Amino acid sequence: MAELIAGAFLSSFFQVTLERFASRDFKDLFNKGLVEKLEITMNSINQLLDDAETKQYQNPNVKIWLDRLKHEVYEVDQLLDEIATNSQRKIKVQRILSTLTNRYEPRINDLLDKLKFLVEQKDVLGLTGSGSCSSFEGAVSQQSSKRSPTASLVDKSCIYGREGEKEEIINHLLSYKDNDNQVSIISIVGLGGMGKTTLAQLVYNDQRMEKQFDLKAWVHVSKSFDAVGLTKTILRSFHSFADGEDLDPLICQLQKTLSVKRFLLVLDDVWKGNEECLEQLLLSFNHGFLGSKIIVTTRDKNVALVMKSDHQLLLKNLEEKDCWSLFVKHAFRGKNVFDYPNLESIGKEIVDKCGGLPLAVKTLGNLLQRKFSQGEWFKILETDMWHVSKGNDEINSVLRLSYHNLPSNLKRCFAYCSIFPKGYKFEKDELINLWMAEGLLKCCGRDKSEQELGNEFLDDLESISFFQQSESIFGHMGLCMHDLVNDLAKSESQKFCLQIEGDRVQDISERTRHIWCSLGLEDGARILKHIYMIKGLRSLLVGRHDFCDFKGYEFDNCFMMSNNVQRDLFSKLKYLRMLSFYGCELTELADEIVNLKLLRYLDLSYNKIKRLTNSICKMCNLETLTLEGCTELTELPSDFYKLDSLRHLNMNSTDIKKMPKKIGKLNHLQTLTNFVVGEKNGSDIKELDNLNHLQGGLHISGLEHVINPADAAEANLKDKKHLKELYMDYGDSLKFNNNGRELDVFEALRPNSNLQRLTIKYYNGSSFPNWLRCSHLPNLVSLILQNCGFCSLFPPLGQLPCLKELFISGCNGIKIIGEEFYGDCSTLVPFRSLEFLEFGNMPEWKEWFLPQNLLSLQSLRIQDCEQLEVSISKVDNIRILNLRECYRIFVNELPSSLERFILHKNRYIEFSVEQNLLSNGILEELELDFSGFIECPSLDLRCYNSLRILYLKGWQSSLLPFSLHLFTNLDSLKLRDCPELESFPEGGLPSNLRKLEINNCPKLIASREDWDLFQLNSLKYFIVCDDFKTMESFPEESLLPPTLHTLFLDKCSKLRIMNYKGLLHLKSLKVLYIGRCPSLERLPEEGIPNSLSRLVISDCPLLEQQYRKEGGDRWHTIRQIPDIEIFPTVSS
């Protein structure tokens, strides 16, 4: 982490600018006296920055002076970029250079006069110089060291004092009371920065939640939300597609989604102000599956009231001892606090000033990290910044203090982030590329690339809690800012960075330089009209707030960026450096884009562009071009190689068929997501030769077109030492050629030894290359071999020392996996780091033995290997064993660490000793599908007291092989397709069973009156899906327990009557679902339980006709039920 040495906001800019003035190119263009005046004036201002930054909060006039200075600084920077761009584009002929001089000298003189005026105001404002460039001189790059990135979203070891609150919430999530509502809501209320989100994350990631809920979703709500947008966001969080802008169908879709399975939903950061929207959502939540829970985090108690929370937790300040523990954890970083007695008393005073706010304590602890000077600690303790306040803003002074201790370059990078809406999740590369385009990474660190500096800056800001790791719905790790930190960024950037949504256009001023805006169909033109007035605008990021988490979806009601709109924009905003049209429904890019001569960053992701205009190739400053998700884009312009400055090209999820000629000339490229080898002769792979600065990931497709090994060697993959991930795709053509060409080509494509992740797909050679072994790939962490159908042997993958994930599928040529798979075990333990191992779709594979010494293995999955005979030994530490559709499974001994065991459709299963199954004491989930079994094992599971979920399918005997009542922790029992099963074993069902599902077990259903369900007071859900042959009436009197909450009847073709006496005592029944019961004539004449809050009738023609709201003769008998859904019969 870079050592954080304080610096004034603009000081790093002044360093870079003074260097540009001093450059030979600039001095050759302009009068020497003019250049010297500029340097003197800029130096004079630089001397005042330190003092001005400190005094701006006490003296509003100093703040005004600084804002004026920032405005002029942007003007200076813009002018310098114009001069540099035009001088590059001109042939160096004196007459043309003179033209440039004549054009720009008047503007330089005008800027010089304005800067001199600012210097002259120093005495009036009481500003004094520091006597040097600045005490904050950019030392950030001179004293730096690496910091290990955080690996998880919540580091439990860094959380103190919340265990009681966590258990309180979890107890409510796990509880089931007789008077439970359909969905229970728990609100966590507290001040911003108090740790509400962290507490919710602790609960959300607790292992008990995985077992309790079928679905989980996390939704960041934020201050600005509407009913349509939030409903769509929730739907997508549950992986349910949401389209359109009409609320009613979206609400219906949400109701259906939430009614299917038990879910946990976290609504994080709900604000007061749109109660009507929250009330509409509540109606959807009432349709949720029984036992579903919602956690709401909010700063406002009134939100909890509007949400009708069943339980409200007021999150209080951390206690003093917990604050101190948290501070010590971050400030001393493993060092013993008792070794620094001189700092302990000061530290406790600092912690006391944090007021029990965890975010403040953590931030200050990180700020003082590695600083063990008593003077430095006193400086933080005694600074006047503790008492700084800016009107009514909610930013804690502790956070502002941390901001003011940042180096100048980090301050500017951080302030730029105020352009993003609250809750926005940005990817690291996205932000670094924006910083780069703004010139924020040119400050210092001559020995490092801008990409390296950007990564360090991100790590630095994350280390002081200004950034937090966050996971998007698609599982990508990104970053976001805590709301308080976002407020801080906005307060520092003021009107220079602006978000525009709805009616915010009045905030636009001539000083605005960076805008993020949401353009709707109705207000897009009006907003753009105001934006066009900002002649000096540098960033325009057009998007929608609902893109923050769900990039890639199509949206209705988007403002169309037609060619005419683009032409206006490109002609009026000529000084743009960053432009994003993310998901704006563009079908083409106007030729006038070439007017944006200073543009460095262009994002056209998720548009419908079919081709790019060739004029884009004239943009000599363009550094980043993002085309991700442009699925209709098939080619790049022919002059693409002329983009000399291009560093980052993202073509993920496009349909580009081949790379443009001479792309290898773009030797500054650092990011090239995809390279497509052309169909003709494959020689264009040689274009990769000079692209040795590539980093991150590279997907090479069309490798089947590479014929000559010499061409492959010329791609020079072995020298691309910065590449971390490589995807090698041979297309889906599986034509085998035994002349050895494929192997020779593949050998020549040897990657660099630094590679960490490798995918090989559709390789059609007869053997794998020699480089796929430990001596060549010692750093490989993940390997995927997919559809390599002609290879008969695997290389010694067991010798890869760092391999954690191995996924193999579709390798049809493999018949036996033997010792060659593991390598020389006498010199190295095979697969010593392997955690996840998966085989799938290998129909010819017949033999394999799983060794015991896979010490790191946690999960093994084998699927669709119908000839495989595998022997499973006891492997320590394995938690998940998933074996599906294999020929013969021989289990020597189940590992004692096993938590989830799945056997599906395997033909033969044999256990060496029956008692070996009893060695496991923590197994929680067992799934056994006996369909297709020729020989079934004799199972005795009596000692599986830990079992919570049991699923049996395809059992062919009349009795189960074990007693169920011994499973005292069993929560859910599901039996499916057991046609011969007649009854439950002696002892009946477990007393704590909550969910019982019977599907296609006709003989078992016939014996239902012998089950003693009435005695199961824990049973909440009873689900029956069976084609009853003889039963016409259901349920029988005293069959079901009075505690039942949900009764689900499906596919009961002979059922004619719902028995009133069997329903009368169900005082807790909330949900009744009846589906596919064509003979059912009516519901009980006497009525149904008054407790019922939801009735669903689906595909029951006789009921539908009688009970529909419009014209149904018996509608009046059910109309008192709050929630009724009647779905029409689907014709076959």
pLDDT tens digits, one per residue of 617-666:
999 999 999 999 999 999 999 999 999 999 999 999 999 999 999 999 99
Burial class (CB in 10 A: 0-12, 13-18, 19+), 391: exposed
410 and 282 housed in the same domain: no
Flag whether pLDDT at 920 surpasses 60.
Answer: no
- pLDDT score recorded for residue 1009: 86
263 within domain boundaries? yes
Say which CATH number the domain at 235 has. Answer: 3.40.50.300
Whether residue 144 is contained in a domain is answered as no
Of the listed ranges 106-115, 552-561, 702-711, the one predicted with least confidence: 552-561
Position 590 pLDDT exceeds 80: yes
Among the candidates 446, 471, 500, a domain finishes at 500
Q: Output the domain CATH number for residue 626.
A: 3.80.10.10
Residue 261 CA, chain-centre distance (Å), reads 23
326 domain residue, yes or no:
yes
**Residue 787 located in a structural domain:** no
Contact status, residue 1080 vs residue 1102, Cβ threshold 8 Å: yes
DSSP per position, 222-249: ESS--HHHHHHHHHHHTT-----S-HHH
User: Does residue 445 belong to any structural domain of this protein?
Assistant: yes
179 and 118 in a common domain: no
Structural domains of the chain, count = 5
Q: How many CA atoms lie within 13 A of 17 on its CB side?
A: 23
Residue 386 has pLDDT above 80, yes or no: no
- Does residue 391 share a domain with residue 294? no
User: Residue range 314-329: average pLDDT?
Assistant: 87
Local confidence band at 472 (pLDDT 50, 70, 90 cut-offs): low
Residues 476, 571: one domain? no
Q: How far apart are CA 843 and CA 868, in angstroms?
A: 8
What range does the domain containing 554 cover?
505-676
Distance CA 797, CA 834 (A): 10
378 plus 478 within the same structural domain: yes
Confidence label for 92 from pLDDT (cuts 50, 70 and 90): very low
511 lies in the same domain as 552: yes
- Same domain membership, residue 115 and residue 21: yes
Mark whether 464 and 521 lie in a shared domain.
no
What is the percent of the chain with per-residue pLDDT over 90, rounded to a whole number? 31
**Do 514 and 463 belong to one domain?**
no
929 backbone dihedrals φ, ψ, rounded to 5°:
-115, 110
User: Considering only CA atoms, which of 15, 361, 311, 3 is closest in space to residue 159?
Assistant: 361
Pick the last residue of a domain from 296, 314, 332: 314
Contacts 24+ apart (CB under 8 A), 223-230: 223/269, 223/271, 223/273, 223/422, 223/483, 224/421, 224/422, 224/501, 224/545, 225/271, 225/274, 225/277, 226/274, 226/277, 227/274, 227/276, 227/277, 227/280, 227/281, 229/545, 229/546, 230/277, 230/281
Is 866 among the domain residues?
Answer: no
* Span 390-399, average pLDDT: 48
Domain assignment of residue 328, yes or no: yes
Query: Residue 53: which residues within 8 A CB-CB, separation 6 or more?
Result: 8, 9, 66, 404
Determine the pLDDT at residue 67: 85
Identify whether residues 310 and 322 lie together within a single domain: no
Kindly report the backbone phi and psi dihedral angles of residue 122, in degrees, each rounded to the nearest multiple of 5, phi listed first.
Answer: -60, -40
pLDDT for residue 555: 47
In 3D space, the residue among 793, 688, 809 whose CA is nearest the CA of residue 751 turns out to be 688
Does pLDDT of 88 surpass 70?
no
Same domain membership, residue 471 and residue 433 = yes
Per-residue pLDDT of 692-713, as tens digits, reads 999 999 999 999 999 899 999 9
Residues 463 and 369 in one domain: yes
Reference 175, options 54, 341, 15, 293; nearest CA is: 293
Dump pLDDT digits (tens) for 250-309. Answer: 888 888 888 888 899 999 888 776 677 888 788 788 778 888 999 999 877 778 888 888
**Residue 79 CB-density burial (10 A; 0-12 exposed, 13-18 middle, 19+ buried):** middle
* Residue that terminates a domain, selected from 500, 531, 556: 500
* Confidence (pTM): 0.74
Mean pLDDT, all residues of the chain: 82
Q: How far is CA 1019 from CA 169, 997, 1064, in A?
A: 23, 11, 17
In the predicted structure, residue 994 carries a pLDDT above the cut 90:
yes
Q: Are 898 and 923 in contact (CB under 8 A)?
A: yes
Whether 88 is covered by a domain: the verdict is yes
